[in-house]
Amino acid sequence: MDSNVFTFLVGGKAGEGVKKAGSVAAHIFSSLGRHIFQMDDYMSLIRGGHNFSVVSTSPRWISSHYMKANLVVNFDKRSCETHMNNIAEKGIMVYNSDEQELEIGVGIPLTSEAEKYPMKNLMYGVGAVAILSAMIGFKKDQLNQIIRSEYPRGIEDNIRFANTIYDIVSPDCGAKFPLEKGDKKRSIIPGNVAISLGAIAGGLDVYYGYPMTPASTILHTLAREAENFGLAVVHAESEIAVINMAIGSAFTGAKSMVGTSGGGFALMTEGYSLAGITETPLLVILSQRPGPATGVPTYTEQADLAFALTAGHGDFLRIVASPRTVREAYYLTSEMLDLVWKFQTPGILLTEKHLSESSMTVEIDLEKSKWAEPKMHKDGDYKRYLDIHDGISPMLFPPSNQIIKWNSYEHDEFGITTENAEMISFMHDKRNKKLETLIEYLKGLETVKIIRGENPTNIFTYGSTYMSVLEALRYGRLNPTTIAPIYLSPLPTWELKEFKNQDNVVIEQSSTGQFTKLLEEKAGLKIRNTIKQYDGRPFDPIELSNKIKEVL
C-alpha cells in the first residue's frame, strides 16, 4: 500500500448519517491540504439496509477510493460482516460493542452512548467523526470546531457525545494514524455538481428533469441555484415532457439541458430524434446505472454507450462525450453546451453513477469555461434551414418580425413541410455536412487523453473508469501508455491511427465490451483483451492493478 494513502470507511444503516460522516471526513482531510476521493455505496431504500462511504486521501492527486481501509467504523453487525475483508494491513476496525463482541478490532458502545440523547440515530455519524479525529491525532477543540460547523442541529448534545467517544478511543488508539499535510485546501464536489456548475458557466438558461438516480442531484443542485443564477428549473411530468419542453425552450434561444439515466433517456429518444431534424441545440446528461430496464438504481455501469451513440431514429448528427474526472465534467459540460449550439444538434454528456455521485478535491480554472454562442442571422429575409457551405444555418429567435419555423417533418429551407424528392435529399445532405465541419473543429480540441508510458501494451479506457485505471497503475507501479477518448461520437479516429497495429487492452464496465467494439469498428484497432467489471461496483485499484499485471 502506498504509505501516503489513508482510507476511511464508515458503514451503517440508511438514516444513520453514513454519507454525511464520509463527507465530513473528506473535509477533515482536505483541511489538511490533502486530496480526497469519496465513493458512497448505498441501497435503493430510505431507512435501514446497509450503506457505506469510503474516503481515500493522499497528499498527491488521488483518483479512486480503495476498498482496503486503514480505519473502518461500523455502526452495526451487518456492517462488520460486510467489511471484514476491507481492513488494510495494520488497519483498525471499530465496531459497535453494544451489538456484538469481536476478537479483533476496537469495541465502542455506540448505541448505549447514543441512547442518552434524543436524536439517537443521528449520533452515529458524529461518533464516526469523533473516532476518526482521535485516531488521526486531532485535538478535542479541533473536533469540536468540526462538529459545530458540520452538525449544527443539537450542537451541545453532538459535542458532548463526540467528546465521550473521543475519550473512549484516545487512550489506546489516539494519534494512531498521523497524516502528513498536503500543500493546500481544495474544494470538494461530486460529479453532478461539477456538471451543474459547468452548464451554468457555459450559459445554461433552463433545465428540465424527472427524478432518476444517479442524475437527480443535477436537478436538485440546479433547482437550489435557480434563483441565484436566474435559471428556470422544472421538474416535469415525464422524461417525454422534459425533452420536449427543453426543445421548446431552445426554439426561443434558451440554452437548455436535461438530465436522466438510461431508462429515462429511453423515453427521451423520440424527442432526441426531433432535435435531430429540427436542428435543435440540446444537451442531455446521461448518467448510467446498471441496466437493462430498472437494473440496479444506485450503482454504476458503462453499458449505455452503444445506446447513446445511436439513440433516436433516422440519420442525424449526434455528439457524445464522456468526462474522465470530476474536474473534467465541469469543463466538458460547458464545452458540450457550446458544441450543441455551434452545430445545432443534440448531444450527450455520457457519465456514470461513479462520477456523478463520487466526490473529489478539485481545482478548476473557471476562466477556461466555454460560453455557448450560436451563429446568428444578420439581416435580410430569414430562412431557418438556409443551406450554406458548412451546413449550419444562422439562427434567429422570436419575438422577431421575421418568420421562424422549426419543423419535425422534413422541410424546405423556410421550414415548411415537404415531400419533394429533391428537397428530402437536399436536407439530408445539408444536415450531414455538419459532421465534417464538426470533425474539423474537434481537431482543435483535446478529444483524447494520451499518457505516454514505456510498456509495449496500451490501455484504452474512458469515462470515470479512467480514474480507476490511473490509480491502479500508480498502485501497481505499472507504466503502459494509457489512451482515453473524451469524445466518443464522432470518435477521434485521427488521434488513434498510431495504435492500430499495436498491442491494445481495454478496461471498461460493460459485460459485452461495448467500448471495445466501438474501438474495433470505428478506429480499426485490434484489441487483445478486455478487462470488464459489471457487478455495479467501480473497480478497486488494487484488484484492478492485479488484473492489469496479468494481461501486460
Partner 1 sequence: MKDLKTYAEITWCPGCGNFGIFTSVRNAIPLLEEKGIKRDNIVITSGIGCHAKIFDYLNLSGFYGLHGRNCSNSEGIKIANPDLKVINFSGDANGLAEGLAHTMFAAKRNQDLTFILHNNSVYALTTGQFSPLAEKGWKGPSTPRGSYEEPFNPISLMIEAGATFVARGFAGDVKHLTDLMVQGVEHEGFAFIEVLQPAVPYHKWEEYREQIEYLEKEPDTYFEAMKAAKEKHKFTIGIFYRTTRPVYHKELYGEYNPIKKRLSKETRIEKIHKILESK
Give the residue, chosen from 73, 106, 215, 247, that forms a contact with partner 1 under the rule CB under 8 A. Answer: 247
Distance CA(257)–CA(250), nearest Å, equals: 9
- Quick one: 54 or 197, whose CB is closer to partner 1? 197
CB atoms within 10 A of CB 413: 16
Distance CA(364)–CA(193), nearest Å, equals: 13
| Interface segment toward partner 1; rule CB under 8 A; list 168-176, 192-200, 500-508, 523-531 | 192-200
Q: Are the beta carbons of 65 and 7 closer than 8 angstroms?
A: yes
Residues 392-431 that bind partner 1 (CB under 8 A): 397-409, 411, 414-417
Burial of 5 (0-12, 13-18, 19+ CB in 10 A): buried
Question: Which among 324, 353, 320, 333 is positioned nearest to 197, based on CA atoms?
Answer: 333
Residues 256-315 that bind partner 1 (CB under 8 A): 256, 270-271, 274, 278
- Quick one: 397 or 426, whose CB is closer to partner 1? 397
Give the residue, chosen from 41, 99, 113, 225, that forms a contact with partner 1 under the rule CB under 8 A. Answer: 225
In the complex, what is the shortest distance from the CB of residue 415 to partner 1, in angstroms, rounded to a whole number? Answer: 8
Q: Please give the sequence-ordered ranges of beta strands (E in DSSP) within 153-213, or none if there are none.
A: 187-190, 206-209
Give the residue, chosen from 106, 231, 284, 286, that forms a contact with partner 1 under the rule CB under 8 A. Answer: 231
Q: Are the beta carbons of 141 and 148 closer than 8 angstroms?
A: no
In the complex, what is the shortest distance from the CB of residue 121 to partner 1, in angstroms, rounded to a whole number? Answer: 27
Query: Does 244 contact partner 1 by CB under 8 A?
Result: yes
Distance CA(316)–CA(327), nearest Å, equals: 30
In the complex, what is the shortest distance from the CB of residue 410 to partner 1, in angstroms, rounded to a whole number? Answer: 11
Residues 456-495 that bind partner 1 (CB under 8 A): none
Task: Give the phi and the psi of residue 440 in degrees, each rounded to 5.
Answer: -60, -40
User: What are the cell numbers at 200?
Assistant: 451554468
Side-chain half-sphere exposure of 415, counting CA atoms within 13 A: 15
In the complex, what is the shortest distance from the CB of residue 258 to partner 1, in angstroms, rounded to a whole number? Answer: 10
Residues 340-379 that bind partner 1 (CB under 8 A): 362, 364, 366-367, 369, 371
- Quick one: 121 or 407, whose CB is closer to partner 1? 407
- Quick one: 168 or 274, whose CB is closer to partner 1? 274
Distance CA(306)–CA(259), nearest Å, equals: 18
How many residues line the site for partner 1 (CB under 8 A)? 65
In the complex, what is the shortest distance from the CB of residue 233 to partner 1, in angstroms, rounded to a whole number? Answer: 8
Task: Give the phi and the psi of residue 489 in degrees, each rounded to 5.
Answer: -145, 120
Residues 67-106 that bind partner 1 (CB under 8 A): none
In the complex, what is the shortest distance from the CB of residue 265 to partner 1, in angstroms, rounded to a whole number? Answer: 16
In the complex, what is the shortest distance from the CB of residue 228 to partner 1, in angstroms, rounded to a whole number? Answer: 6
Q: Which residues pair with 14 in a beta bridge?
A: 48
- Quick one: 36 or 110, whose CB is closer to partner 1? 36
E strand or H helix at 505: strand 503-508
In the complex, what is the shortest distance from the CB of residue 109 to partner 1, in angstroms, rounded to a whole number? Answer: 35
With cell 435529399, the residue in question is: 425
In the complex, what is the shortest distance from the CB of residue 273 to partner 1, in angstroms, rounded to a whole number? Answer: 9
Give the residue, chosen from 234, 285, 309, 311, that forms a contact with partner 1 under the rule CB under 8 A. Answer: 234
Q: Both ends of the chain: CA-CA distance in Å?
A: 21
| Interface segment toward partner 1; rule CB under 8 A; list 12-20, 84-92, 128-136, 221-229 | 221-229
- Quick one: 197 or 448, whose CB is closer to partner 1? 197
| Interface segment toward partner 1; rule CB under 8 A; list 86-94, 237-245, 479-487, 510-518 | 237-245
Distance CA(175)–CA(320), nearest Å, equals: 48
Give the residue, chosen from 205, 279, 301, 471, that forms a contact with partner 1 under the rule CB under 8 A. Answer: 205
CA distances from 499 to 305, 321, 430, 505 (A): 22, 21, 33, 11
Residues contacting 22, CB < 8 A, separation 6+: 8, 10, 38, 40, 53, 54, 55
Give the residue, chosen from 103, 227, 379, 454, that forms a contact with partner 1 under the rule CB under 8 A. Answer: 227
Q: Are the beta carbons of 214 and 298 closer than 8 angstroms?
A: yes
Query: Does 252 contact partner 1 by CB under 8 A?
Result: yes
Please report, as ranges, the residues that interact with partner 1 according to CB under 8 A: 187-189, 193, 197, 200-201, 203, 205-206, 208, 225-232, 234, 236-238, 240-241, 244-254, 256, 270-271, 274, 278, 362, 364, 366-367, 369, 371, 397-409, 411, 414-417
